[in-house]
């Protein structure tokens, strides 16, 4: 199965920009962006991010406010702050041997950076990789990481796998099986997540009186470190606050 998978990947693997580098910073950026955002949305934002902050030192020197503004549209803004904090930590002391010591880096992200940047013999197991392994009954090894991700994302789909074009179908015990619909994330429209995002967009444009904003959203954003509230004004971290008129 491994050789069939790798041969398929050689011919069908996705050409993604973070696969053209071994720079651990660039791969960290891609993995954090991909944590809760689809690949097609991440690609242009990843390229723009690296154009603005091409090195980890560049990102570490940026303000948290600029980082939050640049992240707009990707959602789950805590990822932006964690990425910024991770850059500050790396710029100050280098890459730790245990990558989970970096803010926002859990076991999967650490394994992905370890494999794709540092060449470690570890298989990052995301939902796509776990699905292919469970259905085939094979464990695979680190060499198969990117191939498993692509197979799970494009062929071995969660609900209706495309077994007819799968390179592993001949030996797969799950061939032809259909699966129950997955539980979908709650709708963004009308949700508290939308209220938070709308409030953060307003504050990103300029500091605003707290009385003009959604109080619950401001409280949640403040708890996450995404805004600060001082003297009745809500601003981004390190965002300059206009002095009151006298």
Entry pTM: 0.87
In this prediction, residue 36 carries a pLDDT of: 87
Q: Is the confidence at residue 106, as pLDDT, over 90?
A: yes
Assess whether 31 carries a catalytic annotation: yes
Q: Does domain 1-13+124-183 have CATH number 1.20.140.10?
A: no
Provide the residue ranges of all domains of the chain, joining segments of one domain with +.
1-13+124-183, 23-116, 192-235
pLDDT tens string 166-184: 999 999 999 988 887 666 6
Angle at 222 between CA 217 and CA 224, to 5 degrees: 100
Give the rounded distance of the alpha carbon of 117 from its chain centre. 16
CATH architecture of the domain formed by 23-116: Orthogonal Bundle (1.10)
Q: Kindly report the average pLDDT of the chain as a whole number.
A: 92
Which one of the listed residues 31, 51, 101, 180 is annotated catalytic? 31
pLDDT tens string 4-17: 999 999 999 999 99
Q: Do domains 1-13+124-183 and 23-116 have the same CATH topology?
A: no
Sheet holding 228-230, edge to edge: 208-209, 233-235, 228-230
Q: What percent of the chain has pLDDT over 90?
A: 86
């Amino acid at each position: 199965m491994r050789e069939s998978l790798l041969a398929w990947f050689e011919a069908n693997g996705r050409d993604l920009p973070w696969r053209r580098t071994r720079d651990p910073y660039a791969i960290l950026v891609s993995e954090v962006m991909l944590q809760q955002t689809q690949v097609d949305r991440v690609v242009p934002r990843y390229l723009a991010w690296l154009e603005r902050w091409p090195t980890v030192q560049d990102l570490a020197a940026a303000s948290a406010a600029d980082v939050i503004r640049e992240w707009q549209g990707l959602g789950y803004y805590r990822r932006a702050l964690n990425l910024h904090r991770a850059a500050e930590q790396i710029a100050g002391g280098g890459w730790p041997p245990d990558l989970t010591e970096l803010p926002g880096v859990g076991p999967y992200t650490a394994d992905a950076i370890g494999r794709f940047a540092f060449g470690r013999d570890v298989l990052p197991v995301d939902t796509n990789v776990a699905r292919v392994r469970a259905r085939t009954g094979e464990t695979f090894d680190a060499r198969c990481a990117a191939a498993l991700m692509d197979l799970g994302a494009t062929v071995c789909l969660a609900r209706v796998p495309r077994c007819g074009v799968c390179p592993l179908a001949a030996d797969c015990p799950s061939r032809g099986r259909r699966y129950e619909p997955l539980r979908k994330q709650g709708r963004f429209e009308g949700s508290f997540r939308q209220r938070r995002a709308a409030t953060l967009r307003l504050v990103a444009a300029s500091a605003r009186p707290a009385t003009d904003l959604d109080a619950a959203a401001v409280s949640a954003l403040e708890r996450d470190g995404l805004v600060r509230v001082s003297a009745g004004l809500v601003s981004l971290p390190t965002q300059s606050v206009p002095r009151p008129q006298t």
